Chains A and B, each alone.
Chain A
Amino acid sequence: MIRRVVTRLEEIRAEPGVGACPPVRRVAAAAVIQNPWAGRGRVDDLAAEVEAVAPGLAVALTDRVSAILGGAAAVEAFGKAAIVGTDGEIEHGAALIHTPWFGDIVRAAFGGTSIIVFADTRGPAGTPIVVPIWHTTAAATRSHYATVEIAIADAPRPDEIVVVCAAADGGRPLARIGDRTTDTATVRLEEHRP
């Protein structure tokens, strides 16, 4: 079922113009599968294939993310994504990542309670996707808004889908834009219109 699994770990040690910063690790794990609805025209009920395919993807991807980060407990932020091959519907990617058959498994794997932030797109093999991530239990935690990019040179083929799970063991390396609790400005839009 899975043709290929690609994992990407970015260990950030410094920021341009600043130098060394607190290290943070971000991971994306991607699985390439045959689109289960490819060549079938419009399929109204996607549920059976979702149930058959999505849980296995969630387990395969979260297992790899946990292994790379040294355990699920290290995960502070998470996200998910799908890249649908050019013969498929965006709905096919959505089906694989936006149901409990995928999302609940990812959430549980990392002890999360937040909704999982996502991205989806359709494109030829090699299409990069920038996967958003946010905090696993407090989605509004501004320091943890970040992204991880991944691309696979030979996927997705037109009848394939790439499904991605992403995570990080911390926030942005030099996060310093405060949070909702520290915002003191009252933004008045009319004062900022030219």
Chain B
Amino acid sequence: MNLRKIVTIVEEQLTEGGREVAPVHRVAIVLAVIDNPWAGRGFVADLGPGIDEIAPQLGALLAPRCVAALGGPVEAYGKAGIVGLDGELEHASGLIHTLKFGNHFREAARATTLLPAVEKVAPAGASFDIPLKHVTDATIRSHHQTVTAYVPDAPRPGEIVIGLAAASRGRPQERLAPLATEQ
């Protein structure tokens, strides 16, 4: 895996709607900028070998960093894969939609649910919104949220940005009725 850059973003929200957010809402995002392992090779039918090689390395790199950057228990999480313009959407999907990637985060976050994801093909500097859901029950409405990220110089056409995001709690002033009240 050729790694060019790691970006770690931490957001702390102290007020929302003019009121204090207690406890403070924290989000951590960690992004790795890597060479697209399939760049310049035309249409590669079998992505398996590349996935097997790189997805576990990304999971092992990003998961502990994301949990450490959050600095506390992970209540909601999500992931991202942004492919540079010379690549296929499938290249990002391949690297993030595998247990070889996601289980690193699931174990580090003590999570059990599917990781919601954003995937797109985009130029360097493109903004993307990472969806997050609760780590053990994806129906918990208070924890549905998104975080925005970008890297000014990535992904270059032959690169992929792979990311993980974690939140310390539900939305800053979450106060929606739970799903069960409508069923």
Q: Given the known A-B contacts A13-B4, A19-B2, A153-B148, are A8 and B9 also in contact in the complex, defined by CB atoms under 8 Å? A: yes
CB-defined contacts of B3 to chain A, threshold 8 Å = 13-14
CB-defined contacts of B9 to chain A, threshold 8 Å = 6-9
A124 to chain B, nearest CB (A): 14
B31 to chain A, nearest CB (A): 10
Chain A at the B interface: mostly helix, strand, loop or mixed?
A: strand
State whether B152 touches A128 (Cβ < 8 A): yes
| B contact residues, range | 20 to 34
State whether B5 touches A4 (Cβ < 8 A): no
State whether B14 touches A3 (Cβ < 8 A): yes
- Tally the A-B contacts, defined by beta carbons under 8 Å: 55
B38 at the interface (CB under 8 A from A): no
Specify the chain A residue showing the minimal Cβ separation from B129. Answer: A153
A79 to chain B, nearest CB (A): 16
Alpha-carbon gap, A153 to B3, bound state (A): 26
Specify the chain B residue showing the minimal Cβ separation from A21. Answer: B4
B58 to chain A, nearest CB (A): 14
B6 to chain A, nearest CB (A): 4
Q: Which of B7, B11, B156 contacts A6 (CB 8 A)?
A: B11
Contact with B along A1-18 (1 / 0, CB 8 A): 011111111111111100
A91 at the interface (CB under 8 A from B): no
Alpha-carbon gap, A15 to B4, bound state (A): 7
A13 to chain B, nearest CB (A): 5
Q: Which of B6, B10, B156 contacts A16 (CB 8 A)?
A: B156
B139 at the interface (CB under 8 A from A): no
Q: Please report which residues of chain A, range 4-62, place their CB below 8 angstroms from some CB of chain B when the two chains form the complex.
A: 4-16, 19
Top 3 closest pairs, chain A to chain B, by CB: A153-B148, A9-B8, A14-B4
Question: Residues of A at under 8 Å CB distance from B?
Answer: 2-16, 19, 68, 128, 149, 151, 153
Question: Residues of B at under 8 Å CB distance from A?
Answer: 2-16, 127, 148, 150, 152, 156
